[in-house]
Copies of this chain bind each other. A is one copy, B any other.
Amino acid sequence: MSKGIISKDEDYSQWFNELVIKADMAEYSPVRGCMIIKPYGYSIWEKMQAVLDKMFKDTGHSNAYFPLLIPKSFFSKEASHVEGFAKECAVVTHYRLKNDENGQIIVDEEAKLEEELIIRPTSETIIWNTYKGWIQSYRDLPILVNQWANVMRWEMRTRMFLRTSEFLWQEGHTAHATAEEAVAETEQMLDVYADFAENWLALPVVRGRKTANERFAGALDTYCIEALMQDGKALQAGTSHFLGQNFAKAFDVKFANKEGKLDYVWATSWGVSTRLIGALIMAHSDDAGLVLPPKLAPIQVVIVPIYKHDEELENISAYVKTLTTELKAKGISVKFDNRDTQRPGFKFAEYELKGVPVRVAIGSRDMQNGTVELARRDTKTKETVQQEGLANVIEGLLDEIQSNIYSKAYNFREENTTEVDTYEEFKRLLDEKPGFLSAHWDGTPETEQRIKDETKATIRCIPLNNKQEEGKCILTGKPSTQRVLFARAY
């Protein structure tokens, strides 16, 4: 089959790339590291946006929009922030093109900006510069704002959806009167992300906190959700940062509290991106193509007629019309593929590739028997079922598929999470059975860095509500009070 893709066991990385392209999700663009999100891929992003946006609004947030470009001087006001992003910034230096003497289009050197502008890699700086004007007293707090935007990080090694120079995301930026409130917000948004990952993406996640080495540049504390992909590598699926008063101090944002005393404002920021589409693909799909959780699938049910003569199609179509109406009334998206330019087998393969959760095939014999053939994408099983009550059957099946996809990913993660007590075992498992490795660590950045340098594994997180137990660091043998979660990661 022309649309065949390589097996994921043979070459997982190549499998992912081929799948993204052949399933019409995205393609590379002529601009280094930037991708084009095609309509099918974008429609999944739209579904994610709709769900997340409602979750944000239900927790009291509003959307706003801040400039794409950030003055270089703003960007460098918070020391560790600029340190973290300076090496991957796209810089705007001019604002005009002109024709040279040969009629070629060149940059007009006379139109040089007085101060260079950075394309936002994230918006803390421009937003906190703005919040300075919005906040005078505790009455102006909290500020609960989110932005849907594109951002740019000039990455050297890119991969579609997972790491691209430009990506789409949302970034929440909140301002609070107390540290406690800001921490509560940080934790609340982590819960929102975990809820979204588990109940919509069907992706089980570990909630935890990053070590100092892995924190967001400018944060006091970074919370994250970590998921396991089918090749045993971890993927950070969302982060929520407690920024303390760092940005308020950098931009001099103070408020008068109830006692009339001035204090710096407390901040959080949190974000998820189009990377989630990469996670969705990597976590569930197989060698036949995408496996999409029904709640995020652009098309939930496809109906394929099987016929030789036009009158057969007419007969089938009449029934399909009724079925479609019933499904739509239940809020189920459905496509009737009655193209006469492709054979049913071709269509079956195409919808497998695109991960449509449920396929209904109907032939003339089915019409005589009052049946259809019902196939599910996740298990690749099919059965003959009655037309009578079919819409209800499909509704239940979609729920079952959603929960089956989650269970499969959950079981995979459980099977690939191992407690390890020696460095030899740690290194052996990373090569032979990669996954989450739960191990003791002496708590120092130096040890973490050495393990990373030697094994490419990083501490993905210190799980929330982690069990406290005495142990010895796998590398140094120094005492430790809890296990942390290591893995190689995307």
- A residues adjacent to B (C-beta < 8 A): 27, 29-31, 34-39, 42-43, 45-46, 62-72, 74-76, 82, 86-99, 105, 107, 116-119, 126, 129-130, 133, 139, 145, 149-150, 152, 154, 166, 168, 341
Q: Which residues from chain B contact A46 at a C-beta distance below 8 Å?
A: 63
Q: Which residues from chain B contact A75 at a C-beta distance below 8 Å?
A: 97, 105
Output the least CB separation between A83 and chain B (Å).
9
Output the least CB separation between A233 and chain B (Å).
26
Q: Which residues from chain B contact A67 at a C-beta distance below 8 Å?
A: 29, 31, 34-36, 166
Contact call A130/B91, Cβ cutoff below 8 A: no
Q: Which residues from chain B contact A152 at a C-beta distance below 8 Å?
A: 68-69
The 6 A-B residue pairs with the shortest CB-CB distance, nearest first, are A39-B62, A86-B97, A34-B67, A37-B65, A76-B105, A95-B154
Contact call B36/A66, Cβ cutoff below 8 A: yes
CA distance A62 to B98 in the complex (A): 36
Q: Which residues from chain B contact A341 at a C-beta distance below 8 Å?
A: 139
Contact call A91/B95, Cβ cutoff below 8 A: yes
Instruction: Name 13 A/B residue pairs within 8 A (Cβ), A-sorted.
Output: A29-B130, A39-B64, A42-B64, A43-B62, A65-B168, A72-B97, A87-B97, A88-B95, A88-B96, A91-B95, A95-B154, A97-B118, A149-B150
Output the least CB separation between A306 and chain B (Å).
22
Interface centre among A70, A89, A116 (most CB of B within 10 A): A89
CA distance A119 to B46 in the complex (A): 24
CA distance A105 to B78 in the complex (A): 12
Q: Which residues from chain B contact A65 at a C-beta distance below 8 Å?
A: 36-37, 42, 45, 168
Output the least CB separation between A359 and chain B (Å).
22
Q: Which residues from chain B contact A149 at a C-beta distance below 8 Å?
A: 150
Output the least CB separation between A112 and chain B (Å).
10
Question: Which single residue of chain B is at the shortest CB-CB distance from A63?
Answer: B42
Contact call A96/B105, Cβ cutoff below 8 A: no
Contact call A63/B43, Cβ cutoff below 8 A: yes
Output the least CB separation between A273 and chain B (Å).
12
Interface centre among A35, A39, A46 (most CB of B within 10 A): A39
Output the least CB separation between A179 and chain B (Å).
25
Name 19 extra pairs, CB < 8 A, besides A31-B126, A92-B119. A27-B133, A30-B71, A30-B74, A30-B126, A30-B129, A31-B69, A36-B67, A36-B130, A37-B64, A42-B63, A42-B65, A86-B105, A88-B96, A90-B92, A90-B117, A92-B92, A93-B107, A107-B116, A149-B150
